[in-house]
């Protein structure tokens, strides 16, 4: 049997990784690779419950507030004009990988991509884990046959849909329409849901549905987000970044906006990107335990959460590492990525090739979720 990878000296003790899983927690004598993490805390990898990965090289688009998401889409969608025309010159697979990197540098190890699953991209050493087992519809407005899609979703999988994304009567009524279709139950995950009124909130609780909260996207588009009444209602809630088209940045930015925009405690928000998100999306992980997935991040002990990670491990593989930690490990396959406001990292992605694909279309000033790639 191969020797484990040892994460040594971190606050809370050593962790041994064997293959894709955590083999031991505590003092471990030797391993094939030992990383000295003195002065760091090891945390579970974060879970981003909502993103559209191919849209993260954009800047924000639109001039809200809008009554609903459909009004925003009709306002900004001009595929023959800038900036959409330039973005569409970049192969979709390349744009998806950049979206994965946006999540990686914020400590996300699992992301839920609310668009068709791109098997040829996601299953080839993608920067982060992309959720596979869920049913989805874009929304009641833009997806026909929502009930049919819901019924085709296997038992035990979540069914995810944009719902109540707005502040008008149309969005208030959507939850009742979904219920009439028979597509509202304990598997239903409503993305945004800021249009819920008291009756809609009561129905969501009765059916056991969950919510994905994207506060910065909501504030940008509609000037408001989930009320404290919804946030304290007992409905399970996970946090999502949304894409750069409407979101403030990455998941760390979303955590900060969530704290500022609500009375929710830091501990509760932390659960929204770890254990609560795992339960809502019906995933393993969200915690650190022997036998669990080796999806881990390390942040400096001197910095409070949320903080940019110094190390990200996905499925037992180092996907991101700070140069200061990488001095004693092989650099094969790792390339330098420097992003304003996040720092410099070595990442498991061919950054020169990825940059070459986008610079021809976007020029030298390439930005990832609003941050300049140096």
Half-sphere exposure of 139 (CA within 13 A, CB side): 17
Which pTM value belongs to this model? Answer: 0.96
66: exposed, middle or buried (Cβ count in 10 Å: 0-12, 13-18, 19+): buried
149 in a domain, yes or no?
yes
The proportion of the chain whose per-residue pLDDT surpasses 70, expressed as a percent, equals 99
Identify the CATH number of the domain in which residue 245 sits: 3.20.20.140
* Contact assessment for residue 178 and residue 149, using Cβ atoms and an 8 Å cutoff: no
* The predicted structure's pLDDT at residue 2: 59
Mark whether 57 and 73 lie in a shared domain. yes
363 in a domain, yes or no?
no
* Contact assessment for residue 285 and residue 45, using Cβ atoms and an 8 Å cutoff: yes
269 in a domain, yes or no?
yes
Mark whether 198 and 111 lie in a shared domain. yes
Mark whether 201 and 332 lie in a shared domain. no
Number of domains observed in the structure of the chain: 2
Question: In this predicted model, which residue has the larger pLDDT, 326 or 252?
Answer: 252
Mark whether 39 and 51 lie in a shared domain. no
Mark whether 246 and 107 lie in a shared domain. yes
Mark whether 40 and 146 lie in a shared domain. no
Mark whether 331 and 187 lie in a shared domain. no
Mark whether 170 and 261 lie in a shared domain. yes
Mark whether 143 and 83 lie in a shared domain. yes
Domain with 68, as residue range(s), is 47-281
CB under 8 Å, gap of 24 or more: what pairs does 218-221 form? 218/192, 218/194, 219/257, 219/261, 220/60, 220/62, 220/64, 220/246, 220/247, 220/248, 221/62, 221/64, 221/65, 221/66, 221/69, 221/72, 221/165, 221/246
Q: How far apart are CA 261 and CA 225, in angstroms?
A: 8
The proportion of the chain whose per-residue pLDDT surpasses 90, expressed as a percent, equals 87
Mean predicted lDDT score pLDDT of the chain: 94
30 in a domain, yes or no?
yes
332 in a domain, yes or no?
yes
Mark whether 164 and 269 lie in a shared domain. yes
Q: pLDDT of 180-228, one tens digit each? A: 999 999 999 999 999 999 999 999 999 999 999 999 999 999 999 999 9
Mark whether 192 and 324 lie in a shared domain. no
Q: How far apart are CA 154 and CA 315, in angstroms?
A: 25
């Amino acid at each position: 049997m191969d020797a484990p990878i040892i994460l040594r000296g971190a606050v809370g003790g050593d962790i041994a990784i064997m293959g894709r899983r955590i083999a031991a927690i505590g003092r471990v004598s030797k391993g094939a690779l030992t990383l000295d993490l003195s002065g760091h805390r090891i945390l579970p990898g974060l879970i981003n419950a909502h993103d559209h990965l191919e849209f993260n090289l954009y800047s924000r688009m639109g001039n809200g507030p809008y009554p609903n998401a459909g009004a925003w889409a009709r306002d900004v969608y001009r595929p023959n004009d800038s900036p959409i025309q330039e973005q569409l010159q970049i192969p979709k697979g390349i744009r998806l990988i950049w979206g994965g990197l946006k999540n990686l540098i914020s400590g996300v190890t699992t992301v839920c991509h609310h668009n068709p699953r791109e098997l040829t991209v996601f299953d080839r050493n993608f920067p982060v884990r992309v959720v596979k087992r869920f049913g989805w519809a874009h929304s009641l407005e833009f997806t026909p046959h929502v009930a049919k899609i819901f019924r085709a979703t296997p038992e035990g999988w979540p069914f995810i849909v944009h719902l109540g994304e707005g502040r008008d009567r149309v969005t208030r009524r959507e939850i009742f329409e979904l219920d009439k279709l028979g597509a509202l139950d304990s598997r239903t995950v409503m993305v945004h849901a800021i249009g819920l009124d008291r009756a809609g909130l009561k129905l969501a609780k009765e059916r056991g549905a969950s919510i994905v909260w994207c506060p910065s996207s909501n504030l940008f588009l509609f000037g408001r987000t989930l009320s404290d009444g919804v946030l304290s209602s007992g409905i399970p809630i996970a946090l999502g970044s949304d894409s750069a088209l409407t979101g403030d940045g990455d998941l760390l930015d979303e955590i900060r906006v969530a704290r500022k925009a609500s009375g929710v405690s830091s501990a509760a928000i932390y659960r929204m990107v770890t254990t609560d998100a795992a339960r809502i999306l019906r995933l393993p992980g969200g915690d650190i335990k022997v036998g669990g997935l080796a999806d881990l991040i390390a942040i400096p002990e001197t910095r409070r959460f949320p903080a940019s990670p110094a190390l990200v491990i996905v499925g037992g593989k180092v996907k991101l590492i700070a140069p200061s930690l990488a001095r004693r490990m092989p650099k094969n396959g790792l390339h330098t990525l420097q992003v304003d406001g996040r720092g410099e990292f070595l990442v498991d992605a061919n950054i020169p090739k990825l940059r070459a694909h986008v610079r021809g279309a976007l020029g030298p000033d390439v930005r990832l979720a609003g941050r300049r790639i140096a």
